[in-house]
Amino acid sequence: MPEQLRQESGFRTSLLEQNDGPGTNLSDNRTMGEIIAARFSRRSLLKGSLAVTAIAATVGPIALGSAEKARAGTGSAFSFDEVEAGIDEKHHVSTGYDADVLLRWGDPLFPDSPEFDPGKQSAAAQSKQFGYNNDYVGYIPIDGSASHGLLVVNHEYTNPHLMFEGIVKVVEKDGKKKLELAPLSKDQVDVEMAAHGGTIVEIKKESGKWRVVRDGKLNRRVTAMTEIDLTGPAAGSDRLKTAADPSGTKVIGTVNNCAGGVTPWGTYVMAEENIHGYFSGELPEGHREAANYKRMGIPEAAYEWAAYYDRFDLAKEPNEPNRFGWIVEVDVQDPTSAPKKRTALGRFKHEGAESIVAKDGRVVFYLGDDERFDYVYKFVTAGKFNPDDRAANLNLLDDGTLYVAKFAEDGTMEWLPVVFGEGPLTAENDFKSHADVLIETRRAADLLGATKMDRPEDMQPNPVNGKVYLNLTNNTKRKDDQVDAANPRAKNAFGHIIEIAENDGDFAATKGKWEVLLRCGDPSVAEVGASFSTETTKNGWFGMPDNCAVDSAGRLWVATDGNNAKVTGRADGLWAVDTEGEARATSRLFFRVPVGAEMCGPLFAPDDQTAFVAVQHPGDGGEEWEPFARPSYYEDLSTRWPDFKPDMPVRPSVVAITKQGGGKIAV
């Protein structure tokens, strides 16, 4: 998910860079591209025959056979009229469906919440309103209902140039007019902090339309100022202690909450992803965390929070970054409870935390580390899920085994335990305890020889077919001399999707098999080497797979991050992807977002009659969209979605998609 802040057109902005972090993995571990290439090299593939060979090199025999059958154009699990790909200032959904804005940045969440006034923002108001840049969306039924429940939503990061009036200035430099972003005031930083975190809000479907229940007794905001407990093996470590928290067990706030999940016992988990941009300053010379922070890309100083809060200044509070980069669990049934950072699941740039109950009752969580050349993980609880005793499950995430994936070129894979005392994870490599291993999960995985991946994002276990789907968004740092049969272009901008089958259909297994389900990009360009079935239309292909969802029928839906005018000529959106039978590898566009936006979520209600999607940072950028062709900011926006009012800025929003007249989506 993009939240990198950079200098562009003279002012700070957060554009889609298909990039999260500086790429800090300098280990010699093999990349997924090298493994894929080696796996298929014995099939005598010729790199020059890109139109055929690149497809064969990126998918296994099962996928190839299914894709060939799909040429007959039969057997798709989806039924809807495809949306036309493109870019404009609005959102678009398939014919016969309504896409209603349910929640917008600033919408009131409580009876005493003030109405949104973009010219009079305050932290006090924002803490009672829907936050910014909605990302993960989850649904927790109330009394088992598919039409009455709690919507849980992550708020990943903030775009100050889209949020605040008057902070972008026109200046003249070297005879040219440029735009600069003025430093934020403390009040504006406080609004940013209140706009981070997550929202828990009661929603109800009446007469076919969803509404927010403002007086819901479980409604809650979690922000960058919420007190949170540290639990599990790393809690209390000296490396987590600060002047404000000498116990190492209490943290103020959670940030950069990207994807996440809902547990089988009905709690909400938030993944802390790109934490590096919140910290400024320099560590004291010779500090033990120097290498640890370098591996996490800390500091980047994208945010100005250290100007007003010492805890974000490394020189003043050197241990504070170790208190971020975890999975956060929230008990939605108790709005007074402290959220918990569950350290047993490791510390890295977490993307997603989707879970499933294994055959023996243990619970498995799949986790991506969203940076180029980083790793894929899963966590298996030590205890078993008890469906009849919710309280017995509430601390399952404090005890279990974290694993990291190693993919082999023969199509097999192994999950390596990230456990103190095993293999190289010993005192000889400066790990004094399991707490050290978890705090430096990335370094531990480097030493274990895990496979370097192309930006692992969402991972979704599918309870219907027993597979796991892994989205790899892209890797634009691939150099010319790294091109191979599986990666037939430098600066791989389009990504791919891997399908994992755990041994014996057991999600807790430590071994499995893998295939590449899809190599993404425009299949009409031979050099791209995309592997969509030939039944995929010019509107159906996509690049940059990011979030995904599996509906109750076991069908795969993929949301994207990074499609834009310059790279693909199309906006991000939600695509339906066939994974089974004759239609395997066929994709169709169902919904697309406005210019500058990223497609997040998605989520299907338990009865599959609603698809919730999150539209993040609409109106960002603008330079690459020809009708606008300039930077977009508060006073000069490429779109004013979703309100389209001259006194309203763009507002990240959650959209509820329903079929006109009722019924299941895409059936």
Model confidence pLDDT, tens digit, residues 331-384: 999 999 999 999 999 999 999 999 999 999 999 999 999 999 999 999 999 999
Model confidence pLDDT, tens digit, residues 413-457: 999 999 999 999 999 999 999 999 999 999 999 999 999 999 999
DSSP strands (E only) in 156-287: 168-173, 176-181, 197-206, 209-212, 220-222, 227-231, 250-252, 257-262, 268-272
Whether 661 has a pLDDT exceeding 60, the answer reads yes
* Tokens coding 15: 């554009």
pLDDT of residue 72: 37
Whether 55 has a pLDDT exceeding 50, the answer reads no
What DSSP designation does 115 have?
A: P
**Residue 294's closest CA among 309, 279, 272, 316?**
279
Do 356 and 362 meet the contact criterion of CB atoms below 8 Å apart?
A: no
Query: What would the mean pLDDT of 557-583 be, rounded to a whole number?
Result: 94
Confidence class for position 186, pLDDT limits 50, 70, 90: very high
Q: Taking all residues of the chain, what is their mean pLDDT, rounded to a whole number? A: 90
Residue 208: half-sphere exposure toward Cβ, Cα within 13 Å:
10
Q: Quick one: CA torsion of 17, 20, 25, 26, rounded to 10 degrees?
A: 30
DSSP strands (E only) in 441-495: 453-454, 456-461, 467-472
pLDDT of residue 482: 58
| H or E element at residue 193 | helix 186-195
**Residue 502's closest CA among 514, 485, 494, 489?**
514
pLDDT of residue 41: 52
Confidence class for position 394, pLDDT limits 50, 70, 90: very high
Query: What would the mean pLDDT of 20-27 be, rounded to a whole number?
Result: 76
- In Å, what is the CA distance from 270 to each residue of 118, 185, 201, 358? 27, 28, 15, 22
- Phi, psi values for residue 451, rounded to 5°: -85, 130
**Residue 438's closest CA among 264, 294, 162, 231?**
231
* Tokens coding 406: 């190693």
* Tokens coding 179: 């735009």
> Measured between alpha carbons, how far is 621 from 16 in angstroms, rounded to an integer?
8
Q: Decide if 302 is inside a domain.
A: no
Q: What's the burial of 306, exposed, middle or buried (CB within 10 Å: 0-12/13-18/19+)?
A: buried
> Measured between alpha carbons, how far is 200 from 223 in angstroms, rounded to an integer?
12
pLDDT of residue 484: 41
Confidence class for position 32, pLDDT limits 50, 70, 90: confident
Whether 488 has a pLDDT exceeding 60, the answer reads no
Position with higher pLDDT, 591 vs 1: 591
List the strands of the sheet with 587-592, edge to edge.
92-93, 587-592, 573-577, 556-560, 545-550
- Phi, psi values for residue 335, rounded to 5°: -70, -5
Q: What's the burial of 412, exposed, middle or buried (CB within 10 Å: 0-12/13-18/19+)?
A: middle
- In Å, what is the CA distance from 330 to each residue of 23, 106, 200, 396? 30, 22, 10, 13
- Neighbour tally for 623: CB within 10 Å: 18
Whether 405 has a pLDDT exceeding 80, the answer reads yes
> Measured between alpha carbons, how far is 530 from 522 in angstroms, rounded to an integer?
6
Domain count, the chain: 1
Whether 48 has a pLDDT exceeding 90, the answer reads no
> Measured between alpha carbons, how far is 406 from 308 in angstroms, rounded to an integer?
43
List the beta bridge partners of residue 178.
171
First-to-final CA distance of the chain: 30
Residue 332 CB contacts under 8 Å (≥ 6 apart), including other chains: 140, 150, 152, 200, 218, 220, 266, 267, 268
Do 570 and 24 meet the contact criterion of CB atoms below 8 Å apart?
A: no
Confidence class for position 20, pLDDT limits 50, 70, 90: low
Whether 22 has a pLDDT exceeding 80, the answer reads no
**Residue 553's closest CA among 536, 575, 578, 531?**
578
Q: Decide if 229 is inside a domain.
A: yes
Residue 209 CB contacts under 8 Å (≥ 6 apart), including other chains: 100, 656, 658
Give the residue ranges of DSSP H helices in 280-421. 290-295, 390-393
Q: Decide if 312 is inside a domain.
A: no
Q: Is 514 left (phi over 0), alpha (psi -120 to 50) or beta?
A: beta
Whether 485 has a pLDDT exceeding 90, the answer reads no
Q: What angle do CA 50, 467, 357 make, to 5 degrees?
A: 155
> Measured between alpha carbons, how far is 101 from 233 in angstroms, rounded to an integer?
42
Q: Decide if 283 is inside a domain.
A: no
> Measured between alpha carbons, how far is 353 from 363 in angstroms, rounded to an integer?
12
Q: Decide if 27 is inside a domain.
A: yes
> Measured between alpha carbons, how far is 63 from 79 in angstroms, rounded to an integer?
22
pLDDT of residue 514: 94
pLDDT of residue 616: 98
b/e sequence 575-610, b meaning 16+ C-beta within 10 Å: bbbbbbebbbbbbbbbbbbbbbbbbbbbbbbeebbb
> Measured between alpha carbons, how far is 317 from 649 in angstroms, rounded to an integer?
36
**Residue 251's closest CA among 367, 129, 124, 343?**
343
Confidence class for position 4, pLDDT limits 50, 70, 90: very low
Query: What would the mean pLDDT of 478-505 be, rounded to a whole number?
Result: 74
Angle, helices 61-70/50-58, rounded to nearest 10 degrees: 120
- In Å, what is the CA distance from 547 to each residue of 177, 316, 471, 598? 38, 37, 7, 10
pLDDT of residue 54: 34
Whether 21 has a pLDDT exceeding 90, the answer reads no
pTM of the full predicted structure?
0.92
**Residue 178's closest CA among 8, 6, 5?**
8
| H or E element at residue 64 | helix 61-70
Query: What would the mean pLDDT of 635-656 be, rounded to a whole number?
Result: 98
Whether 496 has a pLDDT exceeding 60, the answer reads yes
Model confidence pLDDT, tens digit, residues 507-517: 999 999 999 99
* Tokens coding 21: 């972090």
**Residue 324's closest CA among 353, 360, 292, 349?**
349
Model confidence pLDDT, tens digit, residues 236-278: 999 999 999 999 999 999 999 999 999 999 999 999 999 999 9
> Measured between alpha carbons, how far is 194 from 338 in angstroms, rounded to an integer?
17
Whether 498 has a pLDDT exceeding 90, the answer reads yes
Whether 23 has a pLDDT exceeding 90, the answer reads no
Query: What would the mean pLDDT of 604-610 be, rounded to a whole number?
Result: 98
Full residue range of the structural domain in which residue 206 is found: 23-273+325-659
Q: Decide if 3 is inside a domain.
A: no
- Phi, psi values for residue 204, rounded to 5°: -145, 140
pLDDT of residue 57: 37
Q: Decide if 592 is inside a domain.
A: yes
> Measured between alpha carbons, how far is 587 from 534 in angstroms, rounded to an integer?
10
Whether 46 has a pLDDT exceeding 60, the answer reads no
pLDDT of residue 39: 63
Whether 489 has a pLDDT exceeding 80, the answer reads no
Whether 579 has a pLDDT exceeding 90, the answer reads yes
Q: Decide if 349 is inside a domain.
A: yes
